């Protein structure tokens, strides 16, 4: 019994000790739980703060993205006049339905000229050119659309007995605008700014059946359209704005000289103006995508060739159509370096065929441009006048005073891609190439041939001295 009692006491002592240890562990566990809870609260606070900051940043970014500013857009505001002349025996409901159909067709005309039809409410509509894609041709496109709209309405008018119904007034102004974007699947543009207000005011000065444009629009379209001074419109803080009446396309630029539909000459002139936008697109592309080792075949060379084809082309008395083909080919002729060094001419034609349809180039034009690009393959073997000009412009540097430093850039380029080993080897190749080279056009011969012979002598001296220029 005494032994059992001792065992019980030892067991109780062990239980007490274990219980004490459990209490201490429990205290430690509680402390750890409190620490974890505190850390969790801190974490939640940081997460919530981060989410709030991201939400604010998202809202801010959304606001910034949804408001676009355009330095040059052309706003068209038009309304239909004629309801006052509706007599009692006319079906007003039918006339309103007809007006809706008319404005649907007017909207299609805007879209055909790649303009935005922003609003068509009742008997008025608001359109704009130059958004969302910035371009230099939007004043021409808007005025061209306005002329077509008036022509369409005149044709509709002939179906009515009373010719006073359905007269359109059009006001046009070119200037900066702010566009507020909304919508997800279909982007809507809410246009704001002084240019919108001015187009609306100009329309109020316009007589029925006419097109009235601001002075800023006039300066940009006067070479292609018949315009005559109409009146002055006071503008707050700016004085008077001159307004001009557009009578139509200039006869020499219209089919059958009827001043309504543009002819081929108009389209070529339009293409030469639009070339500025195409050139900006391509030079940006070349700047971003050309490899860094292209010390010679870079943007500067492309600009040089574009300049020279125009200079030689003018010297050879080319027409605007051929100049447009040459300048476009020059702009694209080395773009293929983006895809590869060897066979870059063929790559250049692929890039041209992908981009040019978006700039109204026809398939025959594109085919001819690609032939011009391929004519720059070495050695040059042109088969017609345009290819001769293209080849002369591409190798224009051979007869320029800066030939040595330019050729040094080509040497660096070829050496970096392991196509040439030494400076002396390069100079020997140059002497052979330049000695066998000839300019094909009279203009290039008169400008460069004499100086080219001097360059041969300079290279021979560099070869003898072993100098790199």
Q: Tens of pLDDT along 99-129?
A: 778 888 999 999 999 999 887 776 789 999 9
- Contact, 179 vs 132, CB < 8 A? yes
- Tokens, residue 163: 């010719």
Mean pLDDT in residue range 226-255:
94
Identify the domain containing residue 11 by its residue range. 1-57
219 with 88, same domain: the answer is yes
Task: Give residue 247's region: left, alpha or beta (phi > 0; psi -120 to 50).
Answer: alpha
Whether 308 has a pLDDT exceeding 90, the answer reads yes
226 & 286 share domain: no
Q: What is the pLDDT of residue 174?
A: 97
Contact assessment for residue 136 and residue 277, using Cβ atoms and an 8 Å cutoff: yes
Query: For 42-51, 105-114, 189-198, which range has the lowest pLDDT when averaged over its residues?
Result: 42-51
Phi, psi at residue 220, to the nearest 5°? -95, -15
pLDDT at 424: 84
Asked if residue 125 and residue 53 are part of one domain, the reply reads no
Burial code (b: 16+ CB inside 10 Å, e: under 16) for 352-386 equals bbebbeeeebeeebbebbbbbbbbbeeebebeeeb
User: Are 144 and 188 in a shared domain?
Assistant: yes
The confidence score (pLDDT) of residue 54 equals 47
CB-based contacts of 42, cutoff 8 Å, min separation 6: none
Q: What is the pLDDT confidence band of residue 464, given thresholds at 50, 70 and 90?
A: low
Helix, strand or coil, per DSSP, at residue 80: strand
Do 170 and 254 have their domain in common? yes
Cβ-based neighbours of 386, under 8 Å, separated by 6 or more: 318, 322, 325, 326, 368, 372
How many domains does the structure of the chain reveal? 3
Alpha helices per DSSP H over 113-160: 138-157
Confidence (pLDDT) at 59: 42
Q: What is the pLDDT of residues 325-374, one digit of tens each?
A: 999 999 999 999 999 999 999 999 999 999 999 999 999 999 999 999 99
Mean pLDDT of the chain: 84
Lowest mean pLDDT among 139-153, 162-176, 453-467: 453-467
* Same domain? 221 vs 128: yes
177 torsion bin: left (phi>0), alpha (psi -120 to 50), beta (else): beta
State percent of the chain over pLDDT 70.
78
CA distance 239 to 231: 13
Q: Which two tokens stand for residue 364?
A: 């025959």
Among the three residues 262, 285, 308, which one is the final residue of a domain in this structure? 262
Residues 300 and 359 occupy one common structural domain: yes
141/189 same-domain check: yes
- Indicate the helix (H) or strand (E) that contains 209: none
How confident is residue 31, by pLDDT bands cut at 50, 70 and 90? low
Q: CATH code at 75?
A: 3.30.70.1230
């Amino acid at each position: 019994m005494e032994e059992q009692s001792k065992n019980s006491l030892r067991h109780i002592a062990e239980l007490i000790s274990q219980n004490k240890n459990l209490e201490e562990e429990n205290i430690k566990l509680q402390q750890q739980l409190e620490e974890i809870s505190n850390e969790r609260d801190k974490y939640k606070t940081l997460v919530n703060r981060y989410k709030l900051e991201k939400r604010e940043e998202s809202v801010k970014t959304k606001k910034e993205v949804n408001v676009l500013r355009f330095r040059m857009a052309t706003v068209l505001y038009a309304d239909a006049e004629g309801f006052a002349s509706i007599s009692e025996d006319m079906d007003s409901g039918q006339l309103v339905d007809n007006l809706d159909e008319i404005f649907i067709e007017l909207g299609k005309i805007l879209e055909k000229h790649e303009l935005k039809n922003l609003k068509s409410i009742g008997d008025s509509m608001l359109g704009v050119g130059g958004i969302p894609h910035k371009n230099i041709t939007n004043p021409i496109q808007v005025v061209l659309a306005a002329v077509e709209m008036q022509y369409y309405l005149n044709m509709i008018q002939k179906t009515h007995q009373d010719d006073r119904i359905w007269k359109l007034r059009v006001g046009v102004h070119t200037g900066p605008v702010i566009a507020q974007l909304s919508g997800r699947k279909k982007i809507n543009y809410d246009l704001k700014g002084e240019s919108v207000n001015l187009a609306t005011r100009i329309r109020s000065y316009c007589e029925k059946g006419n097109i009235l444009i601001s002075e800023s629009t006039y300066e940009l379209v006067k070479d292609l359209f018949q315009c005559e001074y109409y009146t002055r419109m006071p503008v707050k803080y700016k004085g008077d704005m001159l307004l001009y009446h557009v009578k139509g396309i200039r006869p020499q630029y219209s089919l059958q000289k009827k001043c309504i539909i543009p002819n081929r000459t108009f389209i070529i002139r339009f293409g030469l103006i639009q070339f500025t936008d195409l050139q900006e697109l391509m030079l940006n592309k070349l700047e971003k995508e050309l490899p860094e080792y292209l010390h010679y075949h870079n943007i500067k060379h492309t600009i040089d060739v574009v300049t020279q084809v125009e200079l030689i082309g003018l010297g050879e008395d080319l027409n605007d159509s051929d100049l447009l083909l040459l300048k476009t080919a020059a702009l694209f002729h080395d773009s293929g370096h983006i895809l590869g060094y060897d066979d870059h001419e063929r790559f250049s034609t692929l890039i041209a065929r992908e981009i040019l349809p978006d700039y109204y180039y026809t398939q025959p034009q594109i085919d001819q441009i690609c032939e011009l690009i391929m004519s720059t393959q070495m050695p040059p073997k042109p088969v017609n006048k345009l290819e001769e000009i293209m080849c002369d412009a591409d190798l224009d540097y051979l007869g320029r005073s800066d030939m040595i430093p330019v050729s040094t850039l080509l040497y660096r380029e070829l050496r970096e891609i392991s196509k040439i080993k030494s400076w002396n080897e390069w100079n020997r190749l140059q002497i052979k190439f330049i000695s066998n080279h000839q300019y094909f056009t009279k203009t290039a011969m008169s400008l460069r041939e004499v100086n080219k012979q001097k360059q041969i002598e300079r290279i021979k001296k560099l070869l003898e001295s072993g100098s790199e220029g």
